[in-house]
Structure 1
Amino acid sequence: MTPPTRVRTPQLLSLLLAWCALLVVGAPSSAAASAVRTRSWTALTPGVRYATLDLDGVKGPVRAHLLSVDLTEPDVSVGLLHPGEVAARAPLSALAEAQRAVGGVNGDFFHISETQHPGVEATGAAVGPAVADGKALKAAVPDGQRFGPALPPGTSTRDVLGVGYDGRARLGALELDGTVTTRGTHLPLGGLNQYALPVGSIGVFTSDWGAPSRLRATCGTDTSRPAPCSAETFEVTVRAGRVAAVAEQPGRGRIPEGTEVLVGREAGARELRRLAVGDAVSVRHRLVAEESGTPFRFAVGGFPVLRDGVPLDGLDRVAFAVRSAAGIGPDGRWLLLMALDGGPGFRSGLTVAEVADLMAGLGSSQALSLDGGGSSTMVARSAGAGAVTVRNHPSGGVERPVPNGIGVFTRG
């Protein structure tokens, strides 16, 4: 394998544009060929290519690992890698192998630690919405309860990157639309399989949640993650459309298929406390795109850094880290997945603003920042290989278990 391209900062834009032409079109001009003469790239399968690119960053050398995905290729698709439960984690390579992906990158930021609330466990659940094969797995936690870098102005935990049923990738935002109906009263639903519920709301947990305690959902506030847990909670278990059990505090353990658990805090708890075993209850929920467009077949959370080829205002230009991102071509028919290397000599990383510049230079018109640091991982399966391999070096030395990722699939 030839060594990856080394780029100095003044040459960055021209070389990245050349790379974009190569990765998307596959037929570079002579100038582009010269610019990427020492490139390292391989075709994994028709429509999917892997490449590496070295940059001289402000803080030192940076290596980017790239997967270029042609969504016009009929046998290629993109979907959510996940362990089968929202509140569960696994190494990206294990997720990819379990779902037979040809490649992928880690996904959303997640509830990685819990130090402010003694006795409350970290759930490992993702921050933002998640949709897999058209099914809504979870909604977004309040902005103040998220993990990760500060959100750029005008963005929120509801932001996602996804692919619609039309086969086109796009950025969007998914809002929870749901109600709890009982005794002729319609109560708004404030959460779906979330590690944090809005103050005063009712959330629903389904069999997609997993085993961890639901108590964390009643801790913190909409603006402060470390704020104390609520002193006023209530839980109602609904089975076959009727209340099967009630409890003063949220419980734990896997929820059987056909059963839903409602958790209320403050005003939401007071509403649930009106219910008794045997009462009829109907729960309805869905994720709705805030913008018009084809419904998402797949969606993963993160925060936007690039729109219409222009980096967002207010992106962090100070903190350097190993990072991951996903970019979309102008017509939504091309997807670029990126993970920085965290191995020796490359640990300085990039700022969020630099990631936006990188994704723009590689031809993305829109881009979403994904979880970084020890979570940044890219896996890919070479043509003819029986399993994926980790292509970058995770900064922690080993793969960090993650709640989800973006998977690339092929029927070939």
Structure 2
Amino acid sequence: MHRRTTTRSVLAALGAFGFFATAAPAQAADDPDLRLSAGTETAPGIDYRSFTVAASHGSVTGHLVTVDLTDPHVTTDLLYPGAVAARDEVTDMADAAGAVAAVNGDFFNIDEAQHPGVQPTGASVGPAIADGRELKGAVPNGQRFGPALPPGTSTRDVIGVGVDRRARLDSLELTGTLLTPNESLPLDALNQYAIPVNGTGAFTADWGTPSRLRATCGTDTRRAAPCSTDVYEVVVRHGRVESASAGIGGGPIARDTTVLVGREAGAQRLRELSVGEPVQVLHRLDARGVVPLKFAVGGYPIARGGQPLAGLDNVTAAGRSAAGTGDDGKRLFLLSLDGNAETSAGLTIGELAALLLDVGADDAVNLDGGGSATLAVRTPGATATTAVNRPLGSAERPVPNAIGVFSRP
């Protein structure tokens, strides 16, 4: 499997993004390791095909959806089960939203074995934007789940599509403030399962119902570190402090309410607020790109500008999901491998980057893999999506979010 040298030849073999519902399997002339099946146009501008590729650990079977974002029928968005701290199967989220195709999204808070009595929240690692609405910020790098980050990347990295209908990799930085009559206090987290040490986090109705206690566990560099013993919680309703407590709670949050949770210095700042005091909670996610993102999901960057990133693992093979952008953001690629070791050997992250470049991506991210890896497609004539890959295990794993692709009249 070659790197960038085969990308354009593969595209040429595919007819430069033509849809080949009846064509013979496509294969790059100078890349015998990669074999792509004939394409199926699942909807205008949305092409699905399977593939096999020879890799370091053996033969790999996978599935690819290629999306033409210039097609006026195509739209994209983040799929999620109505709350940040909730999970559902990709096919269920896709069908509920009416998506034609979807791939699982970000890594998430799946386990809390090191914190007895603390339940995992199911919330994702990185930032999230759905239909232009900012849902959450990124946890500290040391609090993430998933493989070690490549140099120069962080939990703030995302893949998304802007209001200009162009896909891109970006980074989303939370800027937040708590305004009181006497001072401006920092806000360090938004609907996150981990608040930075000495920080303050805001939880809104978008969070869901799980306990917010997990947000006070670990440190910025060590996820397994003990939970903080210096915490405080303040409930702000209709712009005023309604209640305060040394205990961290859970349960649903009303739309007119924001719950503030502080740890260490952040807890001390919250203790200075009084019941009835006005507090204005301000927050936004700042992107590097100028064009606002319509949707965004956290992703682990593996390629930029047509080249794989340095420091990618080339040893451990696994079933994986990924997404990429190409043709100056006019194309979006969604990819997932079979997770059954009997039929697919898996790819290293380095090989995954090379594969995304081979099929036409310029920039790409690794998404959650293993038992989470799921690519759902609604084939022509079907009334629901099907997981076209074989997820690890006997059934789909519920996940917090997914990238959805839609075909509108």
- TM-score higher than 0.5: yes
1:66 is aligned to 64
Match of 1:184 in 2: 182
Partner of 2:235, secondary structure, is: strand
Paired residue secondary structure (2:14): helix
User: Whole-Å Cα distance in 2 between the matches of residues 15 and 146 of structure 1?
Assistant: 32
Q: 1:77 offset after TM fit, Å?
A: 1.0
- Asked if 1:76 corresponds to 2:74, the answer is yes
- C-alpha distance in structure 2 between counterparts of 1:207 and 1:31, whole Å: 48
Partner of 1:321: 318
- SS of 1:87's equivalent in the other structure is coil
The answer (yes or no) to whether the contact 1:143–1:156 under 8 Å persists in 2 is yes
Q: Is the 8 A contact 1:202 1:269 kept in 2?
A: yes
The amino acid of 1:403's aligned partner reads P
CA deviations on 1:40-76 (whole Å, 9 max, x unpaired) are 4211011001000101221111011000000000010
- CA shift, 1:256, in A, is 0.8
**Correspondence list, 1:7-406, <5 A:** 9=1, 14=6, 17-18=9-10, 21-22=13-14, 24-26=16-18, 39-289=37-287, 291-343=288-340, 345-406=342-403
* Counterpart residue number, 1:5: none
Shift in Å at residue 25 of structure 1? Answer: 2.5
Distance 2:206 2:242 in 1: 19
Aligned partner letter, 2:361? S
| Pair 34,169 (structure 1): closer, same or farther in 2 beyond 3 Å | closer
Deviation by residue 1:267-288 (Cα, 9 ceiling, x = unmatched):
0000000112111110001101
Query: Is the Cα contact below 8 Å between 1:152 and 1:313 reproduced in 2?
Result: yes
In structure 2, what is the Cα distance between the partners aligned to 1:31 and 1:89?
36
Give distance in 2, aligned partners of 1:97 and 1:31: 29
Do the aligned partners of 2:174 and 2:285 also contact (CA within 8 Å) in 1? yes
Contact kept? 2:159, 2:298, Cα under 8 Å: yes
Q: Number of residue pairs matched?
A: 403
Give, in angstroms, the shift of residue 21 of structure 1: 4.8
RMSD: 2.2
**TM-score under structure 2 length normalisation:** 0.94
Relative to structure 2, which stretch is displaced further, 21-30 or 86-95? Answer: 21-30
State the distance in 1 between where 2:77 and 2:341 align. Answer: 31
Query: What do residues 81-125 of structure 1 show as CA deviations (whole Å, max 9, x unaligned)?
Result: 100100000000000011010011000000011011110000000
Return closer, same or farther for 1:31/1:81 CA change in 2, 3 Å cut-off: closer
Structure 1 unaligned spans of 5+: 1-8
1:34 CA drift (Å): 8.3
TM-score, normalised relative to structure 1: 0.94
* Conservation of the 8 A alpha-carbon contact between 1:60 and 1:346: no
Task: Give how far 1:183 is off.
Answer: 2.9
